[in-house]
C-alpha cells in the first residue's frame, strides 16, 4: 500500500546543474513521536518539499545559497517504520532550520500499565 | 518500536550518497564531512557598488552575531546554543548539527567603506553588505628628462 503525503509548497524549479548537499540533522525521540531538525540555510517554507512515499521520508530544500556558482539543493531521505502516523506529519521552516514532527501511531506508543 | 528504520541494520539514510558508497567501497581515508555547509562558511560576491558577504548559520538569532570590518578585512563571529532539553522522555538518536561559537574571517578583494556596512539575517543566512570605496581619480603626470 502506497502512502503519499506531501507537505510544503514544493521546491522551486531547480536547474539540472544544482549541487545536491546532504543537510546535517538532529533527531530526537519523545514518547509521542520523533522530531527531526534539518539545517537548510537559505531555504524558506516556499522552497521546501517534504514527501513520504512507500515509507520513505524525503526532504528537498532549494537554498538561495550558491556553491561554486551552482545553486544548492539540500536533499536527504530516511526510511520510516510502520510506527509513524503518516497522516499527522508536520513540518515547519524557520531561520534555515526545517523541523519535521513524526507522530507515533497509537499502536506504537508505549503504554505503561500499573500492576495492582 | 523505532520510528526511523536503519538500512541494512546500520545506516539511517535511505539513500546513500554516491560518494559515500564509493568511499566505503574503496575504503578511502579522510574525514571529508558530508555536510558541506559547515556553519562558518563565507561566500563573497563583489558587485559594482558593494560587496556582499554571506555566512550560512541556520538556527541563530540576529543578536548572536558580531561583525567587524577593518579596512578590507571582515570578521564574523556567531554563536548557536543548543536548546536545553527539559523533557525526561527525550532520547537523542542522531546528532549532527554543530553548536557553540564560531568565527570566520576573510580579506576582501576590494576596498570597502566599513562604516556603512549593513547586515541582515534571513532564512538562516547572514548577509553583510558593504559599499565599495569609490575609485579615486587617477592623475598621470609626464616627467620630462632634461
Model confidence pLDDT, tens digit, residues A71-108: 999 999 999 888 888 889 999 999 999 999 999 987 76
**Per residue in B83-142, pLDDT tens?**
888 888 899 999 999 899 989 999 999 999 999 999 999 999 999 999 999 866 566 788
Whether CATH 2.60.40.790 fits B37-84+97-131: yes
Cross-chain residue pair B60–A95, CB shorter than 8 Å:
yes
Rounded to an integer, what distance in angstroms lies between the CA atom of residue B42 and that of residue B124? 13
CB pairs under 8 A between A and B: 136
What is the edge-to-edge ordering of all strands in the sheet holding B100-107? Answer: B65-70, B73-80, B100-107
State how far residue B55 is from chain A, nearest Cα, in angstroms.
9
Cell of A106: 497509537
Given an 8 Å threshold on Cβ–Cβ distance, is B125 in contact with A77? no
Contact A80 B17 (CB under 8 A): no
Cell numbers 557598488 correspond to: B49
A55, A6 contact by CB (below 8 A): no
Give A3's pLDDT tier (boundaries 50, 70, 90). Answer: very low
Q: What is the mean pLDDT of residues A52-70?
A: 91
Q: Say if pTM beats, i.e. exceeds, 0.90.
A: no
Q: Of B72, B67, B57, give the one whose Cα is nearest residue B131.
A: B72
Query: Would you kindly state where each structural domain of chain B is located, as residue ranges?
Result: 37-84+97-131
Torsion of the alpha carbons at B16, B90, A99 and A65, rounded to the nearest 10? -60
| pLDDT number for residue A13 | 45
Residue listed under C-alpha cell 552575531:
B65
| Other C-beta atoms lying within 10 Å of the C-beta of residue B105 | 13
Q: Which three cell numbers stand for residue B2?
A: 523505532
- The structural domains of chain A, with segments of one domain joined by +, span 4-106
Q: Does A3 lie at the interface with B, CB-CB under 8 angstroms?
A: no
Q: Which of B115, B5, B126 is nearest to B58 (CA)?
A: B126
Task: Please tell me if residue A54 touches chain B, with a CB cutoff of 8 Å.
Answer: no
Q: Is B111 helix (H, G, I), strand (E, B) or coil?
A: coil
**Cross-chain CB nearest to A28 (options B14, B93, B96):** B93
Do residues A70 and A18 lie in contact, with contact meaning Cβ atoms separated by under 8 Å? yes
Q: Which of A103, B22, B20, B19 is closest to B11 using CA atoms?
A: B20
Judged by a CB distance cut-off of 8 A, whether residue A44 touches chain B is yes
Q: What residue in A sits closest to B9 (Cα-Cα)? A: A79
For B58-76, write each residue's pLDDT tens digit.
999 999 999 999 999 999 9
Lowest mean pLDDT among A51-55, B30-34, B79-83, B100-104: B30-34
Q: What is d(CA B73, CA B110) in angstroms, rounded to the nearest whole number? A: 10
Multiple choice CATH, A4-106, 3.90.650.10, 3.40.47.10, 2.60.40.790, 2.40.10.10: 2.60.40.790
With a cut of 50, say whether residue B53 has pLDDT above it.
yes
**Strand A19-21 vs strand A70-80: parallel, antiparallel, or unpaired?**
parallel
Q: How far is B135 from chain A (nearest CA, A)?
A: 27
- pLDDT on residue A68: 79
The answer on pLDDT for A22 being more than 90 is yes
A72 close to B (CB below 8 A): yes
Least confident of B25-34, B53-62, B91-100: B25-34
A53 contact residues in B (CB cutoff 8 A): none
Q: What is the DSSP letter of B84?
A: P
Q: Which residue has the cell 520510528?
A: B3
Amino acid at each position: 500500500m502506497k502512502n503519499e503525503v506531501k507537505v510544503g509548497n514544493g521546491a522551486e524549479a531547480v536547474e539540472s546543474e544544482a549541487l545536491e548537499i546532504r543537510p546535517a540533522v538532529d533527531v530526537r525521540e519523545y514518547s509521542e513521536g520523533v522530531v527531526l531538525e534539518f539545517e537548510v540555510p537559505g531555504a524558506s517554507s516556499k522552497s521546501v518539499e517534504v514527501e513520504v512515499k512507500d515509507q520513505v521520508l524525503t526532504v528537498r530544500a532549494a537554498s538561495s545559497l550558491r556553491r561554486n556558482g551552482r545553486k544548492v539543493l539540500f536533499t536527504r531521505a530516511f526510511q520510516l517504520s510502520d510506527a509513524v502516523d503518516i497522516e499527522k506529519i508536520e513540518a515547519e521552516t524557520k531561520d534555515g532550520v526545517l523541523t519535521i514532527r513524526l507522530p507515533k501511531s497509537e499502536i506504537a506508543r508505549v503504554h505503561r500499565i500499573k500492576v495492582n | 518500536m523505532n520510528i526511523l528504520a536503519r538500512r541494512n541494520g546500520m545506516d539511517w539514510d535511505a539513500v546513500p550518497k554516491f560518494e559515500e558508497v564509493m568511499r566505503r567501497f574503496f575504503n578511502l581515508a579522510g574525514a571529508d564531512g558530508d555536510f558541506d555547509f559547515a556553519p562558518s562558511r563565507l561566500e563573497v560576491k563583489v558587485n559594482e557598488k558593494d560587496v556582499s558577504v554571506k555566512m550560512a548559520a541556520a538556527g541563530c538569532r540576529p543578536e548572536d552575531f558580531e561583525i567587524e570590518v577593518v579596512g578590507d578585512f571582515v570578521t564574523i563571529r556567531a554563536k548557536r546554543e543548543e536548546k536545553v532539553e527539559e523533557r525526561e522522555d527525550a532520547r537523542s538518536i542522531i546528532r549532527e548539527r554543530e553548536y557553540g561559537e564560531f568565527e570566520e574571517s576573510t580579506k576582501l578583494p576590494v576596498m570597502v567603506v566599513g562604516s556603512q556596512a549593513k547586515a541582515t539575517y534571513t532564512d538562516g543566512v547572514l548577509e553583510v553588505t558593504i559599499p565599495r570605496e569609490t575609485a579615486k581619480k587617477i592623475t598621470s603626470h609626464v616627467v620630462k628628462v632634461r
